[in-house]
Structure 1
């Protein structure tokens, strides 16, 4: 009853755009099931990405099982993660602490395979990454493990907190922290050949430029966190079919709490998508859909399994299609608008669409990949 169309041609076009912007130094970040877009690893590699980034080892191993042979980096793992499988599969690992370093080195010795690692420094976000006070010690320990043959440090990575605001002075501070971290690593005897600080926003604004690699996630899918004006194509269209319609008399309410009350007689259509499918409840009272060539308001609170659409004088028939969001070319709402209605970011909207929604991959108007049936 509901479909999430993934426009592979848009993803390929966006990838090619970033390949040009980064002069080929492009890591495609496909974490969280490629930001909810599914199996697109081969598409982005064919379109200009030369490596892939994910958070967990399980994501990386799934890509290897799918036949991806390009370099893969995994950067968010607990100390008891399956480092042995990652090392054996040739997956590079980010190391933010001595504890992770020792766990990776132990896995390397157990498997007889040298681990390839990127040391991860906290440039200022206070999330993942080694705090500046512990960085020199981590570099020294990494060099010791490198001397034993257990690991090989090929990269240093960080992340920026305010890259979507290019004039924010924090960007300069974080670059200085990152550059100092690189110098410290070199003084400790390490020879990292890949430095990467920039994600999508830092790439589009330029504040993360002049390093060997750019990690692009959201931008591949048409999301510009920095509002830079770069032409990117949204890559998802979410549609559903009407379950039923009814007339609503003036003065009657809709949904939980009856917080919408009709000022005049109108018609309603029930659509089987709700917050159980990732439609944000916080968008209630503001969100719209697209049906029969025009926008229609969602009325009443968004429920777990359904939304109610005010169709005015029109009566939508069962099985008629309703578009919740898409590229916006036909006037339909966009992911960016849904993010504004829900007081969140576009990243959250695209990653939260649930498993009850069928996924269909399309190149232009032709289905080119199998449909995943709704659960």
Structure 2
């Protein structure tokens, strides 16, 4: 096992252990579910809180040929400092007017275009650079967020993009869209969006577009809708071993393993009498004489305040529940008379095979989704990378 961390202390107050062998295994499992398509590993928001560069490298080692980010700034950092092979494609899609189009062209990024303003800006940057931009046209097939509306808007965008391609200013490398409800099995919008996307692809190709890839499948569609895989699947949360929805199944049902384990060192254990108020507002009062454990992480570290009096923690081999409110830097668990030594490890979440809670357990406790639980873990918690650079059994 190899370990790297942004901050070396012994012992660490808290740590988010990132298992890169699990990343590689998850990529292989996802590729097996979509054998006819290439795989994009989505590493936006610093790899959903896991570390973009480290997870990107592990994903590429396991066969991902594309990487995806939301912002161009994320993609530019990944291209410059990610230690990636030159032939790995990187796509970014969340653009605003005045964005770094020229830098993206120079870095050989694939950029998403949803409307005429973006096409005009990227073609101007390509003219200045003397290089064609790699452009993917995004279709709004029904999500109602980013993407070009079908009908006249799509016809205009396709026409002008083909004209720019004919002038040598851009290369139309992709046609793509995004699902609204793929994490809800049987939702009627899934088939409706697939039909609309096929129609919009057909129109663009009839006009002369020859994209390298066509793609709409996110993690849930990759797992459950093989008819949506087209040429490329974009896997985000599944890459990190988390199911997109409990309705779809647990990670193990798809051969996935959670990548992050969040833990902290117990900072204090003390005896208190019954009727003792705990944490701000005294929303929790001890039922009788007991022991309390201080866990030194809080909402400044990404522990949801909504998990007050609900979040589960494994301490001393037993599940405990947060007692009272989560504070900025700490919370309390009622140990019920047990007396673990200060410094003992308290595990907030992990894969679950050691008896610890999972990110999904925390999502249920906080009334949110597991995506938010892992992504919100702050930079004050060092990432410790294990199994970095190790060869795994295919």
1:159 is matched with: 178
Q: Residue 289 of structure 1: CA displacement? A: 0.6
Which residue in the other structure is 1:62 paired with?
77
Q: Which residue of 2 aligns with 1:198?
A: 217
Q: Does 1:171 align with 2:190?
A: yes
Q: Is the 8 A contact 1:114 1:152 kept in 2?
A: yes
- 1:187 aligned residue: 206
CA distance in 1, matches of 2:335, 2:139: 53
Distance 1:241 1:368, change over 3 A: farther
Q: Is the 8 A contact 1:53 1:72 kept in 2?
A: yes
Q: TM-score, normalised by structure 1?
A: 0.95
Q: Please state how far the C-alpha of 1:353 moved relative to its aligned partner.
A: 0.3
- The CA RMSD measured in Å over matched residues stands at 1.4
**Greater relative contact order (Cα < 8 A, sep 6+):** 2
Provide runs of 4+ in structure 1 moved above 6 Å.
Answer: none
Name the counterpart of 1:129.
Answer: 147
Q: CA deviation at 1:64?
A: 1.3
What does residue 31 of structure 1 align with?
44
Pair 1:105-2:112 in alignment: no
Partners of 2:272 and 2:199 lie apart in 1 by 66
- The change in CA–CA distance for 1:202 and 1:277 in structure 2 (over 3 A counts) is same
Q: Residues of 1 paired with 2:163 and 2:263: CA distance?
A: 55
Equivalent residue for 1:149?
Answer: 168
CA contact (8 A) 1:267 1:314 kept: yes
Q: CA deviation at 1:190?
A: 1.6
- Residue 91, structure 1, aligned to residue 109, structure 2: yes
In the TM superposition, residue 183 of structure 1 has moved relative to its aligned partner by 1.4
- The answer as to whether partners of 1:166 and 1:207 remain within 8 angstroms in 2 is no
State how far apart, in whole Å, the 1-side matches of 2:14 and 2:229 are.
44
> Could you say which residue in structure 2 is the equivalent of 1:372?
none
Q: Once the two structures are superposed, what CA deviation does each residue of 1:25-60 show, in whole Å capped at 9, x if it has no partner?
A: 101111111111102111100111111111111111
Could you tell me which residue of structure 2 aligns to residue 3 of structure 1? 15
Q: Unaligned stretches of 5+ in structure 2?
A: 1-12
2:298 corresponds to: 274
- Look up the SS of the partner of 1:289 in the other structure: strand
1:101-132 deviations in Å (ceiling 9; x for gaps)? 11111111111110011100111111111122
Which whole-Å deviations, capped at 9, do the CAs of 1:154-203 have from their partners, x for residues lacking one?
A: 21000011111231111111011101111121232222231101010011
Q: How many residues align?
A: 366
Structure 2 Cα separation of the partners of residues 30 and 238 of structure 1: 19
TM-score by length of 2: 0.90
Contact conserved, 1:120 with 1:156, CA < 8 A, in 2? yes
CA contact (8 A) 2:348 2:356 kept: yes
Q: Does 1:235 align with 2:259?
A: yes
The alpha carbon displacement at 1:330 in A equals 1.3
- Offset of residue 207 of structure 1: 5.8
| CA-CA distance at 1:231 after TM superposition | 2.3
Give, in whole Å, the separation in 1 of the partners of 2:207 and 2:42: 30
